[in-house]
Structure 1
Amino acid sequence: MPITPEHVGRRYPPAPPYVVSHAKIAEFARAICDDNPAYFGSTPIAPPTFAAVIAAQAWDALFGDEELGLALNRTMHGDQGFVFRGPLRPGDAVVATLSIEKVRNRGNLDMVTILVDLTVDDETVCEARSTLMHTTGEADA
């Protein structure tokens, strides 16, 4: 059964905790060419888009759900947004939990909006929302 609006509300088990480190923050900041001093030194914070690294780990549950019929090689990341309640810091053990918020089916295109709730000590620090565009492959037939 392919993904349908009936799957809205489905929530997956949390991904294993991701422990934020000084090294990963600095590595990410260098990768995005951002030399903001807030991302370096003895008490850095993570760049805001660092949350995408952690949120993406929760996607494994979505693509591993055989009932949905989603394939990563037929998926394009169409939109991304974040709502922050605080910065990520070294030592934070971040737990990412994915849920399906919206599904629209148009011909052989599925538009799926997902929400990944990032928590530290059971408190939400960030909500990462993405819209994925997935082709079913039926047009190839």
Structure 2
Amino acid sequence: MPITPEHVGRRYPVTKPYLVNQAKIDEFRMAVGDRTTGPQAPGTFAMVIGALAWDGLFADPELGLGLHRTMHADQRFAWNRQLRAGDEIKAVLVVDKVRNRGNVDMITVTVDLSTTDGEQVCTATSTLIHTREEA
């Protein structure tokens, strides 16, 4: 059964805590060509953690999603504060919207990132375009 609007509201388990440290921030900066320094992570670093929450979505056998058939179409962030070295972050993903057109699924998901102490840090909203396998 492919993903449908009936799956809107589906929530996936909270990820294991991810420790943000300076070495990870520096590696990310180097990978994306960011020449800034300091303990605060670049904004898009949130997707390192957000991608861990996507694992539940793509592992859900009921949805029939394949990462190799998915294009990341849009990304938005709503910040309470930047991620910084020393943060221990957990993430939870919720399916917000699903539209099916032929063999194409347009899926909007939200990943909420918060500290293990419960401080809300960021909400990352992604739109994915997924092509289903032909029967």
1:25 — aligned with what?
25
Instruction: Give 1:1-141 correspondences, 5 Å limit.
Output: 1-36=1-36, 39-40=37-38, 44-120=39-115, 121-138=117-134
> In structure 2, what residue type is equivalent to 1:129?
T
Q: Take 2:22 and 2:91, find their aligned partners in 1: how far apart are those partners?
A: 20
Q: Distance in 2 between matches of 1:122 and 1:54?
A: 16
Separation in 2, partners of 1:94, 1:31: 21
Shift of 1:110: 0.3
What is the CA-CA distance between 1:122 and the residue it aligns to? 1.1
CA positional deviation for 1:35: 1.3
Measure the CA separation in 1 of the matches of 2:66 and 2:31.
27
Query: Displaced runs of 4+ in structure 1, greater than 2 A?
Result: none
CA distance in 2, matches of 1:31, 1:72: 22
Secondary structure at the counterpart of residue 24 of structure 1: helix
SS at match of 1:6: helix
Deviation, 1:123, is 1.9
Over the aligned positions, Cα root-mean-square deviation in angstroms equals 1.0
Q: Structure 1 CA distance, aligned partners of 2:58 and 2:16?
A: 16
Partner SS state of residue 70, structure 1: coil
Normalising by structure 2, we get a TM-score of 0.95
SS at match of 2:35: coil
Total equivalences in the alignment: 134
Structure 1 spans left out of the alignment, 5+ residues? none
Q: CA deviation at 1:91?
A: 1.2
User: How far apart are the structure 2 equivalents of 1:73 and 1:111?
Assistant: 15
Alignment partners' CA distance in 1, 2:65 and 2:31: 29
Once the two structures are TM-superposed, the CA of residue 87 in structure 1 deviates from its matched residue by 1.0
- Structure 2 alignment gaps of length 5 or more: none
What are the Cα deviations for residues 4-62 of structure 1, in whole angstroms up to 9, with x where unaligned? 001000001011111000101111112111112xx33xxx1001110011101111000
Residue aligned with 1:35, SS: coil
